[in-house]
Structure formats: C-alpha cells, structure tokens
Structure 1
Amino acid sequence: MLSTIGYYICVPFAALMRLFYNLTGSYGVAIILFTLVIKLILLPFQMKSKKSMIRMSRMSGKIQEIQKKYANNQAKMNEEMQRFYQEEGINPMSGCLWSFIPFPILLALYYIIREPIVYFMNFGGRAAGQAVVAAAKELIQGAGIELTANAAYEQIEIAKIINSQFPDFIAQHEGWVNVDYHFLGLDLTAQPSSAFGQLSGGVSWMLIGLILIPIVSGALSFLLSKVTMSQNKMEGSAAASGKMMMWMMPLMSIYIAFIMPAALGVYWIAQSALSIVQEAIMGRFYTNKLEAEEAARYEAREADRKRRQEEARILQEQQRQQAAQKQSLKEKRKAAQEAKAAKAKKAATSTTEAGRVGDRPYARGRSYKADRYDSEQE
C-alpha cells in the first residue's frame, strides 16, 4: 500500500524529469531545470512564509517583552503571544514548514534516480515497471553478465547494460529511455564516497568532481543559512536554534551528497543556489515593504492621535465655554438677586423724616399736621 502511494507521489516528478531530459538530452541540465520549476511552483507559498518570517523577526523585541512579562505564567504568556500573532498576522510555524519542503522532493528524486526503469521510464505502473526490470535482469544473466551493484542501485546498472548491449530489448519495450547519466564529465549515478577508494588508481577529473559535489553542496547550504539568518534577526533561544540549524543543514547536505548518487548532490547545489538568490531578493523586497507598511501604520497612528487630541481640545474648549456660560448665568442671577435686595433695602430706607413717627417711616402721611389735635384739646 505504502509503495503504491509512494509510486504515485513520484510519478509527476518523474514525468517532469523525463520531459526536461527529452528536451535537453542532458541528465544534469534536466535536474537543474527540474529544481527551477519546483522552486517556481513553491514560490507563492515561500513568499508568504518569507514575509511572515521577516515580520516575526522585526517583532522579536515585542515577543521578548511578552515572554519576560509573563515568564511566571505560561498560560497567560501563550494567550498573549497568540493574540499578538493574530493582531500582527504572523504564523510562527510557516517559516519552519516550508524550509523542510526540499526534503520530500529530495526523497522522491532519490527514488527516480535509483529506480529509473520503474519511475523515470514509466511503463504504466509499478508492477509493469518491475516486470520490465525482471525481464531485463533475466536477459542480462542469460548472457552471462554478472550484476555487481547492490540491490538499491541495481536498476541503474541494468539500464546501463541494456542501453549499451541490448538494442533489441529497447525496441521491444516502448517507453524505454536510453539515459545518459553523464554531466560535465561526471557519472551522476556514482556515489562520491566511492571516489576516495579509486584515488589510489590515479587522480582524474571524474573523481575530483565527485568529491567536490558534496563540498560545494555544503558550502552553498551554509551560505544560504547565513543569508537567511542575516535577514531574520532573532534573540534568545530562537537565535541559538538558528545558529544550530546554520551548521546542521550544511553538514546534513554534505553527508547526503556523499552517500547518495551524485545526481542528488547536483539537485542540492541547484536548490541552494536558487534559494540564495530567492532569499536575497525576497528579503530585500519584504524588508522594504514591511518598513513602508510600518511607516504607514505609524503615520496613521500619529494622525489618529492628533485627531483625538484635537477632538479632546475641542471638547475641553466646549466644556470650558459651557462652564463659563453657567458661571455667567450664575453671576447674573446673583447680581439680579443682589440688585433686588438692594432695591428692597433702598425702598425700605428711602422715606424722609417728615413721615416718620418713632420707628414707623410712613406714619405721618402727606396730610399729617403735628398740631392737628392740639386746638381741639384746648
């Protein structure tokens, strides 16, 4: 079941490799073009991932603040970090996810290279391909030719022998591809680790080239890690993990390129070289874009702050005017009350002495005569 699923995963990659080989006639060029197309297919996803990684890098200071603030409360820290990621549109896993995409492609390419009859030539299914392998193996052994390759790379040896000695078998099996595995004078099916044992028989470009493939692969992988880290400034544990990955990935690429066919080393070199160019371009593009977005957000925040300040000033002025109006009305009311009281007081104290009798200011009236009753009494 798993082998069937693996076969159908490899089929589209094998078809792409076969297309480029038929167009160019070069196995090495086909691998490079294969790598380029895969990079182009993955580009939209990697662009989104790169933007998220750079944004996260630029927000590392804020992330550190949250981690320090809630260092003793893991649940609260996770909640605040999640809220922060949502507000800023950051996916912390996006960068890690897409950085591992080359590995399954590398695995698929490995099967295509080591089993060219089943995958690269594609006779209509895994069972049909294995039937062709069995027929070719029987023909070779019937001719007294001994197979020396281990089981993992047996199909490569079978294909080479059929291509060189049994043209009739090729004619009988439609779909057979006469593959030339050489590129720049190197046999891309050979393992670089085997070149060291052959140096005792003499130094040649083929042996030196095979040894150089893993070294170049590791060097470019290291350069890629340096470029990526220079654009994604990290602090704390993230920086330590990044430095570890900066050394781990090149060492892994060197190891893989040494123990597997040289064709995989060519893929890894092309993958790293294209990734360096991609990272440099996307890093500069998204850094400038995010700086412009941050500047726009800052200007928007400043404009909003000034607007709120102006609204507060206007509200304060309105409140001051309303308070002044209330104070003025209060003063007017008080003044009116005081005027009324003064008027009443004035009215109470404005009579002449001619009308007063003791404490009674109006007791005499206008017709008062002091001696009115004196004559009558006499």
Structure 2
Amino acid sequence: MQIFGFLGNILGYALWAAFYVFQNFGLAIIVFTVIVKLLILPFSVKQQKSMAGTARLSKKQKELKEKYGNNRQLLQEEMNKLYEKEGIKPMGGCLTTIVPMLVLFGVFYAVAYPLTNTLHLNGDAVNSAVTYMSKIPGYVANSNPNYQQIALLDLFKYDQFVAQSSTINSLFTADNIAAIDHFSDGFGMFGLDLLSVPADHGFWSVYLIFPALCLVSNIGSQFIMTKVNSSAMGQQQGCMKVAMYLLPLFSAYITYSVPSALGFYWFISAIISLIQSIVLAKVLSPAKLTANSEARHAALLFANEAKVPYVYAPSESASAGNVNAKKKKKK
C-alpha cells in the first residue's frame, strides 16, 4: 500500500497541475488520462505489433506444434527461434497491461487522500485536522478510514466551519486554507460531486451512473476489440471469455464503492484505450505487417544480389572475350 501511496503522491502533482489550469477536477482527469495514454503509446504499439506478428505466424506455429507436439521443450525452443527470427516478442505487451493498473491505483490514492497526495500539505497537520473533525458535536464520521480527508475537504465548503475554527486556523497557514477552500469547490461535474462515493447514496441514486458507465465502456471495449483483433487474438479459451465479462463487472463493483472521480477516470481511460486500439489494429494489422515484412525481405535480397559480381556462363564468357578483343583491335 505504501508503494501505491507513493505513486498517488507523484500522480497528485500532475492532477494538481491540470486542476490549476482548468479549475475543475473532471477536466483535469480527462487531460491527465490523455497524457498518460500518450506516454505509454510506444508500449501499446509494441503490444499491437506483438499480437499482429503472432497472428501472422499462426500457420508456422501450427506446423511446429504438429512436428514437435510430443516434445514440449523442443517445441518451445523452436518457437523461440521462430520469434527471434521474425523479431517478435510474445511478452512485449505486458507492460501496457501493468502500467494502466498501477496508474489506476495511483489515481485512487491521489483522490482518496487529496490533501496530502494532491495538495501535498503537511501530513501531521492533516491528521490532526481529521482528528479534530471527528470530535465536532453532531458530526457523523465516515465509516471508511480511507475517505477521512475527503470528508475534511467537504467541510471546507462551509465557510462558517473554517471561519469559526481556531484549531483549523492554527494547523494550517492562510495560504493552505485558501488552497483547500479553492480545491474543495472544483469537484463538480454535470451537477455531481466527484468526491462522493456512489455506495453512500444508495443503489438507485444518480451516482449509479459512474459504475454503469464503467461497466458499459469496459464490456463494449472488450467486445469491440475481440472483433477488431480477432485474427491477432486467435480463438479464445473458455476462461478468457469468462474473464472478458467478469472483469467489467468487477470494475463496476469497485467503482460503486470508491469516489466517483476514480470511476470517471476509469470510464475516460476505457474510451481512449478503445479508440487507440482500433486505430492501432487498423494501422498495424497482420496483413499490413506481412506485406511490410515481404517488402523488406525482397529489398534485402535485391541489395544482396547487387553486391555479388555477375558470373558469366561458358558461352557468355566466349562472347564477352570476342567483344573485348574487337575493342582492342579498333584502338
């Protein structure tokens, strides 16, 4: 958890910078997501090339399996030789799967702990303020310990709380209080509060839109990408098909129990990933990679042939000798 907390602290600087420019956390998340996708684009390109390359070699792979199917070690060795010869790395796309998940956890910690990970206020002062907040008469504390900073940020929406609280004023500087106050007003998006947790509002509240968007976007993304990359992905096994629909359900469940800002990020990330994947699948399709490979192979053969001196056949050698002799006589 400390690793994810550290990551959230780092990503918090990027989120705060985007918020500082756009003055709205929803817009900041959109810009932040686009930047993240651009940064990992080279790895996404490698992943698509790996998938398309594997599909291009499916016929050769099948032949190797038929030939060495009884010897798994030899089969693996021959497969590795084939991949090396064709310049394909089957595990080349793993990073594009790991990085988005790390960013997702980082965004959660940046959103769940906005005062220490996004505004980067003193942790001791924030903890003292949270402790003081829990002792306010009539205040009902959030049962989730991860969201205490969000609750404190919500209290800053009430100017009377800050004005009459000598404890809060003693814990933070005037600049800190101004920053918190300004930050607390920037989480509105289409009339909804991105700091709110959908589960806190009941199952049929309007905040259910965030888990629903996550569910639909992830299922749609999985379905469309299966169609687009059908040749590259090959025949899916039963467990893969189950995972394709269970993972979106899991994402919807998680989104229901975390601040809406995380669900909004997950939705935007899924949409951008879908668009990016469709474009890459068209540009780097197995057919295009095969055509490019054949073109490079033909160019290489032509270049090698140009370097080799022409060897005359016996009849051609005699003819060439007579021509050279006649040229000497004329001179």
Q: 1:267 aligns with which of 265, 268, 272?
A: 265
**1:188 maps to what in 2?**
194
Secondary structure at 1:101 match in 2: helix
For residues 268 and 141 of structure 1, the distance between their equivalents in structure 2, rounded to whole angstroms, comes to 31
**Contact 1:54–1:232 (CA under 8 A) maintained in structure 2:** no
For residues 238 and 79 of structure 1, the distance between their equivalents in structure 2, rounded to whole angstroms, comes to 24
Q: 1:166 aligns with which of 150, 161, 167?
A: 161
Judging changes above 3 Å, is the alpha-carbon distance between structure 1 residues 40 and 304 closer, same or farther for their aligned structure 2 residues? closer
For residues 202 and 161 of structure 2, the distance between their equivalents in structure 1, rounded to whole angstroms, comes to 32
**Contact 1:21–1:27 (CA under 8 A) maintained in structure 2:** yes
For residues 232 and 282 of structure 2, the distance between their equivalents in structure 1, rounded to whole angstroms, comes to 17
**Contact 1:20–1:34 (CA under 8 A) maintained in structure 2:** yes
**Contact 1:117–1:132 (CA under 8 A) maintained in structure 2:** no
For residues 54 and 221 of structure 1, the distance between their equivalents in structure 2, rounded to whole angstroms, comes to 22
Q: 2:220 aligns with which of 219, 223, 228?
A: 223
Q: Give the count of matched residue pairs.
A: 300
Q: 1:140 aligns with which of 117, 133, 136?
A: 133
> What code does the residue aligned with 2:250 have?
M
What's the C-alpha RMSD, in Å, of the aligned pairs?
3.1
Percent identity of equivalent pairs: 26
Deviations 1:83-123 (A, max 9, x none): 01111111111223312321111111111111112211102
For residues 237 and 75 of structure 1, the distance between their equivalents in structure 2, rounded to whole angstroms, comes to 23
Bigger CA drift: 56-65 or 85-94? 56-65
Bigger CA drift: 79-88 or 233-242? 233-242
For residues 52 and 256 of structure 1, the distance between their equivalents in structure 2, rounded to whole angstroms, comes to 31
TM-score under structure 2 normalisation? 0.79
For residues 233 and 257 of structure 1, the distance between their equivalents in structure 2, rounded to whole angstroms, comes to 32
For residues 142 and 215 of structure 1, the distance between their equivalents in structure 2, rounded to whole angstroms, comes to 36
What runs of 5+ residues in structure 2 fail to find an aligned partner? 319-331
**Contact 1:147–1:157 (CA under 8 A) maintained in structure 2:** no
Query: C-alpha displacement at 1:239, in angstroms?
Result: 5.0
Deviations 1:322-343 (A, max 9, x none): 9xxxxxxxxxxxxxxxxxxxxx
For residues 13 and 212 of structure 2, the distance between their equivalents in structure 1, rounded to whole angstroms, comes to 30
TM-score under structure 1 normalisation? 0.70
Q: Which has the higher contact order (CA 8 A, sep 6+)?
A: 2
**2:151 maps to what in 1?**
157
**Contact 1:147–1:154 (CA under 8 A) maintained in structure 2:** no
Judging changes above 3 Å, is the alpha-carbon distance between structure 1 residues 233 and 243 closer, same or farther for their aligned structure 2 residues? farther
**1:76 maps to what in 2?**
74
**1:177 maps to what in 2?**
180
**1:99 maps to what in 2?**
97
Query: C-alpha displacement at 1:223, in angstroms?
Result: 2.3
1:325-340 mapped onto 2 (5 Å cutoff): none
Q: Which has the larger radius of gyration?
A: 1
**Contact 2:156–2:180 (CA under 8 A) maintained in structure 1:** no
Query: C-alpha displacement at 1:304, in angstroms?
Result: 9.5
